Amino acid sequence: MPRRRPGRPRRDDQRPTRDLVLAAATALFAERGFDAVSVRDVAAAAGVDVATVAHHTGAKAQLYDACFARVFSAERQALEAAGERARAALAAGPADALRALHDLVDVFVDFLEDRPETTALWLRRWLEPQRHAELDQRYAAPLYALVEGLLAAAADAGALVEPAPHVTVRSLVWAVHGHVVALAARTGSAARERREFRAFVHRLLDGLYPPSR
């Protein structure tokens, strides 16, 4: 059987080699954490050799960073579009602003339900809060700031009252990550868990920002 050339993807997966490597690395880092994954592990999972991994992503620390950059890019794309819609709704009044916030949260929940490895990757990182902390600044803080800014703008427009947007955003983020973990645990009906959690976050937003304010 001919030896596969460096960088050549598996026959059953024709994604670009870098995408293939990053997908494999993300899954492994999410499952095991940074220390328990080697570049050789990633190469084996991606179906390439170690030199190919190094060529496309650099050393292990750079590979780890690239995994977070990859999920951040996809999440930012989803949230920025929803955030723009929400910001446009502010001028229409509190009821429209609240509906737009519902939509924004739904986009975030959908994103993590569809990509549970994102939650696993972050949870592994947060097990050691002081280690790789720069990843938070590059790949979490900008998204938090996006939504915090939206809540602050809504408060300035009189569409809602929000004294601590940073606390609200972080609390919602952790709630959604917890929901994704519950889905992964498969302790009950996934459809019911999704339905009940979606209803919960909507009730939470309605309680935080009742239209009567």
Q: Please state the three-class secondary structure of 88-99 as a single string.
A: HHHHHCHHHHHH
Whether residues 46 and 135 share a domain: the answer is no
Confidence label for 1 from pLDDT (cuts 50, 70 and 90): very low
Taking residues 152-158, what's their average pLDDT? 91
Whether residues 104 and 193 share a domain: the answer is yes
Whether residues 197 and 95 share a domain: the answer is yes
Does residue 21 lie in a domain region?
yes
What CATH number is attached to the domain comprising 48?
1.10.10.60
Compute CA 78 distance to the chain's CA centroid, rounded to the nearest angstrom.
10
Whether residues 139 and 169 share a domain: the answer is yes
Angstrom distance (rounded) from CA 141 to CA 48: 33
What CATH number is attached to the domain comprising 145?
1.10.357
Whether residues 41 and 86 share a domain: the answer is no
**In terms of Cα–Cα distance, which of 103, 185, 100 is closest to 193?**
185
Does residue 5 lie in a domain region?
no
Whether residues 108 and 33 share a domain: the answer is no
> Is the pTM here over 0.85, yes or no?
yes
Last residue of a domain, one of 7, 29, 57: 57
Whether the predicted pLDDT of 212 surpasses 70: no
Whether the predicted pLDDT of 97 surpasses 50: yes
Whether residues 45 and 125 share a domain: the answer is no
Taking residues 28-53, what's their average pLDDT? 95
Tens of pLDDT, residues 59-91: 999 999 999 999 999 999 999 999 998 888 887
Does residue 10 lie in a domain region?
no
How many other C-beta atoms lie within 10 A of the C-beta of residue 45? 17
Whether residues 81 and 110 share a domain: the answer is yes
For the chain, what is the domain count?
2
> Which residues, 6 or more positions from 26, have their beta carbon under 8 angstroms from its beta carbon?
67, 70, 71, 117, 121
Average pLDDT, the chain: 90
Whether residues 108 and 162 share a domain: the answer is yes
- Domain of 25 in residue numbering reads as 17-57
pLDDT > 90: percent of the chain: 78
